[in-house]
Amino acid sequence: MNGPHDLGGQHGLGPINPESEAEEPVFHGDWERRTFALTLTCGMLGQWNIDEGRYARERQHPVDYLSNTYYENWLAGLETLLVEKGLVTAEELLTGVAEGKAEGYRVPDVDATRKILASGGPTRIQSDLKPSFSAGDKVRVINQNPLTHTRAPRYTRNHTGTIEFGHGVHVFADANAQGRHEGVHLYAVRFEADELWGEEAAGGPVYVDLWEPHLEPV
Amino acid sequence: MPHDGHDHTDPPDDLTLRVKALESLLVEKGLVDTAALDVVIETYEHKVGPQNGAKVVARAWVNPEFMALIKEDCSAVIDQEFGYKGRQGEHIMAVENTPDVHNVVVCTLCSCYPWTVLGLPPVWYKSAPYRSKVVQDPRGALAEFGTTVADDKEIRVWDSTSEMRYLVIPERPAGTEGWSEDQLRALVTRNSMIGVEEAKSPETVL
C-alpha cells in the first residue's frame, strides 16, 4: 500500500538527531520493554506471520503512524492483530476485562520462548525453482499500487536497475502478508543514484532486495 | 524521545496504563506467560548486542579467509564460530568497506536490522528522518553523525527490504598492525557496523 511507512526519499521530516551511542538505553521506559516483549510472545502463538505484523502497523492512519513513537506503532499493530485474529474482542481491549479464558492456543513457556528466539524464522526455502534473472541482468520494477502490503519501495517503481546477485528462493513477503506462503527468487538489485533521483542526485547507488514478481526484464 | 526522568511520585502516563492493561488482559486470558516476557526482555536488553558484531568484525580484520566467508553467508559462519543465531539474524550478509567503497544500511519501510549481531536498533535508525534521507542523500545523512566520506568514494546504501540483513565491516583503522582481536574489538562501534560512522581510531582507546 502507498502508506506512511514507505519513507525513502521523502523530505521535510527533520534532523536525524541521533542519541550518543554510549548513552542510549535499549528501551526508553518500561512500557517500551513490555510492548516489545508482548509483541514477540504474542507472535509466537502462531496466529500471524511477520509480514502480517508489519502490515498491521503500516495501515494505521498516516497521521498516527508518523506522530507515534516507534513502540506506539508496535502497540497499535499488536492491538489490531489481537482483535482481527479473534484472540481478544474489541470490548475486552476497551475495558481491559477478560470475558473468559482463550482456548486452544499453545502458549510458549520460558523454555519454548528461548528456543524460538534462538532458532528464529528462516525465510529461505530449498527449491528447484529456476531463477529468471542472473547477475548483471537489467530489470525494471513494475509499476504497481496495491492496497495490500508490498516490500517494493515506492521510490524504486518503474526504475531500472541491475541484478547484483541472487539470494535464492525466499518466502514472498507481499503474499505472506495475505496469508499465502509462497517461495520465489529474491535478488539484490542495484539502482544508480541518477536513475532514482535525477541528474542532480548527490548520493550513491542504492541496493534493494526485490522478489521476482516485482521485476520485469528490460 | 527523551529519557523518562519522572520520579516515583508521578502518576503513570497513558501509555504505561495502556500497556499494563493489555498485559494483564492477555495474562488473564492465558495468552501470555509473564516469565516468558521477562526472558524476551532479558535477551535483548542484556545478552544480544553490538558486542557480538564487534567480535565478528575484529575476526574479519585479522583473518582474510573469515572475511571472504562472511561476505558470502555471514549467518552460517557466525553461528558455527560464535554461536550467534536466531531471530532477525537468519540471513545475514557482510558488506566490506574499502578505500573505494563505503556501505551504509537502512530499512526505509520499517526497521529491519541484524539483531543477532547488533541487538535492537537505536531510535534514530527506526525514525522517519533517517529512513527518508539516507537513500537519497547519504552524504548529508552521514554528516549528521559527524562523518565525512571522501567525494571520490562510492557510498552504497543497502535498503533492507527482505529478510536479508546487512552487517557493515568498517575499514580497519591505520596504526593497528599487530593488534589482537580483543584489542581491535574496542574500536568497533555499533554505528560503524551500520555504516554511519567509521571505526574508532587507535588513539581513542590507548
Q: Is residue A164 one of the residues assigned to a domain?
A: yes
Q: Is residue A96 one of the residues assigned to a domain?
A: yes
Q: Is B65 found in the same domain as B35?
A: no
Indicate which residue of B74, B107, B160, B192 is catalytic. B107
Tell me if the pTM is above 0.80: yes
Q: Is residue B3 one of the residues assigned to a domain?
A: no
Q: Is B160 found in the same domain as B127?
A: yes
Q: Is residue B183 one of the residues assigned to a domain?
A: yes
Please list, in sequence order, all residues whose beta carbon lies within 8 angstroms of the beta carbon of residue B28, skipping any fewer than 6 positions away: A98
Cβ contacts of B135 on chain A, cutoff 8 Å: 8-9, 155, 196, 203, 206
Would you call B97 an interface residue with chain A, using a CB distance cutoff of 8 Å? Answer: no
Containing structural domain, residue A55: 30-119
Q: What is the pLDDT of residues A72-88, one digit of tens each?
A: 999 999 999 999 999 99
**ipTM associated with this complex:** 0.97
| Arithmetic mean of pLDDT over chain A | 97
Indicate which residue of B110, B127, B132, B201 is catalytic. B110
Q: Is A111 found in the same domain as A191?
A: no
Residue A19 has pLDDT above 50, yes or no: yes
Contact (CB<8Å) B16/A98: no
Q: Is B180 found in the same domain as B194?
A: yes
Q: Is B35 found in the same domain as B128?
A: no
Give the residue from A91, A119, A147 where a domain finishes: A119
Q: Is A104 found in the same domain as A67?
A: yes
Helix (H) or strand (E) holding A170, with range, is strand A160-171
- pLDDT confidence band for B37 (50 / 70 / 90): very high
pLDDT of residue B194: 98
Q: Is A107 found in the same domain as A146?
A: no
pLDDT of residue B7: 53
Q: Is residue B111 one of the residues assigned to a domain?
A: yes
Q: Is A84 found in the same domain as A34?
A: yes
Residue B112 falls in the annotated catalytic set: yes
Containing structural domain, residue B36: 14-46
Would you call B204 an interface residue with chain A, using a CB distance cutoff of 8 Å? Answer: no
Residue B201 falls in the annotated catalytic set: no
Strand partners, B158: A207, B105
Residue B131 has pLDDT above 90, yes or no: yes
Residue B110 falls in the annotated catalytic set: yes
The percentage of residues in chain A with a pLDDT greater than 90, rounded to a whole number, is 97
Q: Is residue B9 one of the residues assigned to a domain?
A: no
Residue B74 falls in the annotated catalytic set: no
Q: Is B26 found in the same domain as B101?
A: no
Would you call B36 an interface residue with chain A, using a CB distance cutoff of 8 Å? Answer: yes
Distance CA B159, CA A196 (A): 13
Cβ contacts of B152 on chain A, cutoff 8 Å: none
Give the residue from A119, A146, A162 where a domain finishes: A119
Count of other CB atoms within 10 angstroms of residue A64: 12
The percentage of residues in chain A with a pLDDT greater than 70, rounded to a whole number, is 100
Nearest to A109 among B3, B36, B122 (CB): B36
Q: Is A151 found in the same domain as A92?
A: no
Could you tell me the CATH number of the domain that includes residue A103? 1.10.472.20
Q: Is residue A179 one of the residues assigned to a domain?
A: yes
**Choosing among A20, A31, A181, which should be mutated to test the B contact, i.e. which has the most B CBs within 10 A?**
A31
Helix (H) or strand (E) holding A215, with range, is strand A215-217
Q: What is the pLDDT of residues B146-180, one digit of tens each?
A: 999 999 999 999 999 999 999 999 999 999 999 99
Could you tell me the CATH number of the domain that includes residue A205? 2.30.30.50
Closest to A59 measured CA to CA, from B110, B159, B26, B128: B110
Question: Which whole number is the average pLDDT over B28-47?
Answer: 97
Domain count for chain A, please give it.
2
Distance CA A180, CA A172 (A): 9
Could you tell me the CATH number of the domain that includes residue B190? 3.90.330.10
Would you call A1 an interface residue with chain B, using a CB distance cutoff of 8 Å? Answer: no
Q: What are phi and psi of A80, to 5 degrees?
A: -60, -50
Would you call B34 an interface residue with chain A, using a CB distance cutoff of 8 Å? Answer: no
- Crossing angle for the helix pair A110-119 and B34-42, to the nearest 10 degrees: 40
Q: Is residue B66 one of the residues assigned to a domain?
A: yes
Contact (CB<8Å) A105/B88: no
